Structure 1
């Protein structure tokens, strides 16, 4: 048992059937479109790390799967062509080790592999993923080219190095997005936020911006995209491809400075923002063409 080997009570039984599934021919076309998009991303090579191209590819995946992207809340930090964030800064606006203000640590609840695609479609930024992803055929290589940082959850002694790497990226002015719940749940808000990675924000003097992710079908909450239990990635992908009326909402909450706060306090405050969003009235949604 390690600090990062977190388990969720959610199993494949938590995943409800798709409401009004699309015809098999439509699902097949969607899967073919996703394959074509992945192929283009693979041919992009190292250029895939370019934020604008990365966002375009992420939106193409959502569009291929028939998933509507909706954004709510405050804006997420914008990203310059060189990958540097343009919205994050410390409490006093000073940089902490770079030539400009630090990037923003973006933290979100975790439901599905589709979460990463949705975040990249809004704010293309390096993600933190478990090291297992690096070994996935094709997708692992694409993740590496996109600038993904990998964490070995079975080797707790490497955690300080991972935190230092995240802090270095933040100090360089780039944002980092991660899922501090450390595992997926079938619906928001998910499990408790693990505090370890918030130390990177403390060390870099970087602000933290919480994000709530949720899925709906025809306006009703949906667990179809949930990637839980023993289901394979392929099974989950096909389930999403068969879904109709599916949308993902990325709701960004106001960022807050890390100055004077401990990693425990940062984690608690970020999770309170995510949990509070479930109880507050939903603001106007903006549908993003994908």
Structure 2
């Protein structure tokens, strides 16, 4: 636990420093957005047993993690299966709807950004290389996953390095790799959300590759919106993980939206993808800061 706390204090100092950059996305979400599961209060014994079982199952999967990077036949299928098993261990279920998932090479996958859980959710549907904050590889547990999945690091405080990231994204798309990005650039609670940023879409335009928007929404078992998985504001990674594994059940609904052709205008492509991810809900402008887990 001390390693988590020490890292989070260091990470929070970095967040405070980079927030001085006016170009960085900021979210209005904070800890007041998070609503815990009432079952935790009413049935503490059941919660303790459930939590212990989930921890044991998740730890049992860790030795198989190197398979995510092994050049084996059917590697994508292995990655999807591993992510689905890990989600079940954490108490998260997935429902899928919308258009078919096309078996195409070199696709940029985009969605809204709520939590570290998003990585496993998308990994269970369309596994690929994530565009991630550079210091993610230093995080406990998640850092190992990030290195195995060959993340594309982005320095949040260095705007001048962004063109290099875009070129890397375009290069991987051109070679037929799937790349996953969260264009909001920071996490939101899942009820509120922010505007997309155009940078990552330039990679798709430069490579001439399509974009697959995914709409992720988290719910309780009764279908009501859930903010339990959120990783926002002053929240710590450990606290977010604890909420997820102690909750009775979290359901993530993944809606596969229409594939978007790149065109030659990144802002037009961004607008089309943002509309697909948001549906008919009005967009909100960001006003404060969240955790930019994956950019």
Superposition TM-score tier, normalisation by shorter sequence: 0.7 to 0.9
Q: 1:44 Cα deviation (Å)?
A: 3.6
Contact 1:4 1:154 in 2 (8 A): no
The answer for the alignment partner of 1:265 in structure 2 is: 268
Q: How many angstroms apart in 2 are the aligned matches of 1:245 and 1:45? A: 26
Q: How many angstroms apart in 2 are the aligned matches of 1:275 and 1:28? A: 36
The answer for the alignment partner of 1:29 in structure 2 is: 53
Contact 1:48 1:145 in 2 (8 A): no
Which structure: greater helix fraction?
Answer: 2
Taking structure 2 as the reference length, the TM-score comes to 0.81
The answer for the alignment partner of 1:56 in structure 2 is: 81
* Cα separation, partners in 2 of 1:154 and 1:48, compared to 1, 3 Å: farther
Residues 1:47 and 2:70 are matched in the alignment: yes
Q: 1:76 Cα deviation (Å)?
A: 2.5
| Higher mean displacement: 5-14 or 134-143 | 134-143
Q: How many angstroms apart in 2 are the aligned matches of 1:270 and 1:45? A: 28
Q: Specify which of 167, 171, 178 is matched with residue 168 of structure 1.
A: 171
Q: 1:139 Cα deviation (Å)?
A: 2.3
* Cα separation, partners in 2 of 1:206 and 1:255, compared to 1, 3 Å: same
The answer for the alignment partner of 1:255 in structure 2 is: 259
Secondary structure of 1:222's match? coil
How well do the aligned residues superpose, as a CA RMSD in angstroms?
A: 2.0
Q: 1:39 Cα deviation (Å)?
A: 3.3
Residues 1:193 and 2:196 are matched in the alignment: yes
Contact 2:30 2:233 in 1 (8 A): yes
Secondary structure of 1:206's match? coil
Q: 1:135 Cα deviation (Å)?
A: 1.2
Secondary structure of 1:47's match? coil
Task: Within 5 Å, give how 1:271-282 maps onto structure 2.
Answer: 271-276=274-279
The answer for the alignment partner of 1:70 in structure 2 is: 95
| Higher mean displacement: 225-234 or 197-206 | 225-234
Contact 1:109 1:188 in 2 (8 A): no
Residues 1:235 and 2:239 are matched in the alignment: yes
Secondary structure of 1:203's match? helix
Q: How many angstroms apart in 1 are the aligned matches of 2:22 and 2:124? A: 30
Residues 1:130 and 2:122 are matched in the alignment: no
Q: 1:5 Cα deviation (Å)?
A: 2.5
Q: How many angstroms apart in 1 are the aligned matches of 2:62 and 2:280? A: 33
The answer for the alignment partner of 1:246 in structure 2 is: 250
Taking structure 1 as the reference length, the TM-score comes to 0.82
Secondary structure of 2:206's match? helix
TM-superposition CA deviations, 1:130-155 (whole Å, max 9, x none):
11211113421321112221111111
Q: 1:73 Cα deviation (Å)?
A: 0.6
Q: How many angstroms apart in 2 are the aligned matches of 1:75 and 1:189? A: 27
* Cα separation, partners in 2 of 1:187 and 1:144, compared to 1, 3 Å: same
The answer for the alignment partner of 2:108 in structure 1 is: 105
Which structure 2 residue ranges, 5 or more long, are not aligned?
A: 1-19, 41-45, 283-295
Q: 1:265 Cα deviation (Å)?
A: 1.1
